[in-house]
Amino acid sequence: MWRPPQRIKWHPDPGSWPSAEAAARSLLYSPIRVGGTGLSSRTWVPAMVPWRASAEGHVTDANIEWYERFARGRPGAIVVEATGIREVPSGPLLRIGDDRFIPGLARLTDAVRRASGGETRLFIQLIDFLAIRRRPEPEKFFRRHLQIGDRHRAALDARDWPEDAVRERLARLPQAELAQVLDARELEALRMGYRERVTDTDLAHIRALPRTLPDLFSAAARRAREAGFDGVELHYAHAYTMASFLSARNDRADGYGGPRANRVRLPIEVYRRVREAVGADYTVGCRYLAEECIEDGMGVEDAAWFGVEFARAGMDFLSLSRGGKFEDARQPAVGASAYPYTGPSGYECMPQYVSDERGPFGRNVEPAARIRAAVRAAGFSTPVVVSGGIHGFDQAEALLREGKADLVGFARQSLADPDWFRKVKLGRGSEVRVCRYTNYCEALDQKHAQVTCELWDREALEEPGVGKTADGKRRMLPPAWPGNALPRDK
């Protein structure tokens, strides 16, 4: 992962922990209405893919145990990992693109309800993504993948050559000369692996996205409701299809790109179709970027404007993330795919402890505050969720009191200790296992390996019945916290 060149090492400081009485009086542990559902506290576990679904995208026992473990900590809400809305194989990523996925997802909602004593609300993040291929062997790229055209022949002065000879010549060209012969997309396909964009409107299926996506999202949302989720989070963030429509780099010329009113058009059309499918009383919100954090990317002004439009359309919450784009991703190894969290924008998305002067804690708070202020100024009370490096009670409580957000997302902190929410509420914050923001978990995610945290995955491996990762070296779940079984634990 990319890290800021300043290389300043930061250590998380959760500050002081409240007594149970002080926690009970806090804003963090006060209830909040989010659309059609009520949360018992303003704590939120943002979506995190743990790579535990079956190869066909079904819910497994390991998924159930994972979310049950988080539910035992009783946060206000958990958002289930990015879940694919299409009928495309996507490895061990959850899917919801067909009714056959509903029974497994229903098992999941049931398990979370039981494990949290009915307290935690469960949402699911609905994602669409475009095709991406692995970085090819250069030989294969020149001999098979590259489509030879007049442009290549002209550049090589090889108009009459047989195609094989042109390919052969290209395969032997020095790097510097290749840059003169291949166009930017071909060079990218060679160096990073081919990647589709929403602006590839020469491709029929990309041109058709504004027609196909509303139905795909709304059918998925209808299934989520049938499976018993309390709501859906439309994934409009990071490197995926919907975020690419919102992106400042989206210059589609069909009314869905260019000025921001056009860029927000499909995200609103998707939302409306989803709303029609699930009804007015169901919670529907989105996750999107406060800033893209890339060159020529969208900044907080656009994000504030989008926030107002989402609120006006009737969305029930706005969850803000930042960065996480392909545009500045690191070059993958041959045979691997580019990963959108490996460049500077990836750092902004999941900032780790080696940082710059600003540090990794709360980098998204001020942008979120600006977006929330714009939404409020337009007369909407839509709750705003902020995440990024938040791990302490004081930090969370202060940002709520200062009106910077309405709900606080703890992603990696809840992976380090899913009992954070219970421990702090019970006045036992000193028992919290504080995340160190090392991004060990993120490195596992990048390899599509079962995600665990280094603070607990080697602990008590000999415990009877402990579930282990495929390599047998790590435990799958954090050890139980006895405090969760206290009689006063109501």
Ligand X SMILES: Cc1cc2nc3c(=O)[nH]c(=O)nc-3n(C[C@H](O)[C@H](O)[C@H](O)COP(=O)(O)O)c2cc1C
Positions touching ligand X (CB under 6 A) are 46-49, 81-82, 125, 237, 287, 321, 349-350, 387-390, 409-413, 441-442, 445, 451
Interacting partner of 209 out of ligand SF4, ligand X, none (Cβ under 5 to 8 A depending on kind): none
Instruction: Tell me the residue length of the chain.
Output: 490
The CA–CA distances, whole Å, from 190 to 33, 75, 143, 335, 427 equal 50, 45, 12, 11, 56
Residue from 188, 200, 269, 454 binding ligand SF4 (CB under 6 A): 454
Tokens of 53: 């679904």
Q: How far is the CB of 49 from ligand X (least distance, A)?
A: 4
CB 415 within 8 A of CB 441: yes
Closest CA to 106 of 74, 51, 53, 58: 58
Which residue lies nearer to ligand SF4 by CB, 161 or 440?
440
**Interior angle at CA 378, CA 373 and CA 380, nearest 5:** 85
Q: How far is the CB of 356 from ligand X (least distance, A)?
A: 16
195: three-class secondary structure by DSSP: strand
446 counts as binding ligand SF4 under rule CB under 6 A? no
Residue from 439, 446, 450, 469 binding ligand SF4 (CB under 6 A): 439
Residue from 192, 416, 424, 476 binding ligand SF4 (CB under 6 A): 416
Which residue lies nearer to ligand X by CB, 320 or 426?
320
Tokens of 266: 């499909």
What's the one-letter identity of residue 108? L
Closest CA to 4 of 349, 322, 355, 348: 355
Distance CA 441, CA 114 (A): 27
Distance CA 318, CA 284 (A): 9
226 counts as binding ligand SF4 under rule CB under 6 A? no
Q: What is the DSSP letter of 99?
A: G
433: three-class secondary structure by DSSP: coil
Stretch that binds ligand SF4, among 170-178, 259-267, 411-419, 477-485 (CB under 6 A): 411-419
The CA–CA distances, whole Å, from 338 to 122, 147, 288, 438 equal 31, 22, 21, 21
Q: How far is the CB of 27 from ligand X (least distance, A)?
A: 19
Q: How far is the CB of 347 from ligand X (least distance, A)?
A: 11
Q: How many residues bind ligand SF4 (CB under 6 A)?
A: 13
Interacting partner of 130 out of ligand X, ligand SF4, none (Cβ under 5 to 8 A depending on kind): none
Residue from 440, 448, 467, 483 binding ligand SF4 (CB under 6 A): 440
Q: How far is the CB of 397 from ligand X (least distance, A)?
A: 16
Beta bridge partners of 284: 232
Which residue lies nearer to ligand SF4 by CB, 366 or 454?
454
318 counts as binding ligand SF4 under rule CB under 6 A? no
Q: Which of residues 131-150 bind ligand SF4 (CB under 6 A)?
A: none
What's the one-letter identity of residue 396? A
355 counts as binding ligand SF4 under rule CB under 6 A? no
Interacting partner of 455 out of ligand X, ligand SF4, none (Cβ under 5 to 8 A depending on kind): ligand SF4
Distance CA 325, CA 244 (A): 9
Residues that bind ligand SF4 (CB under 6 A): 412, 415-416, 435-441, 453-455
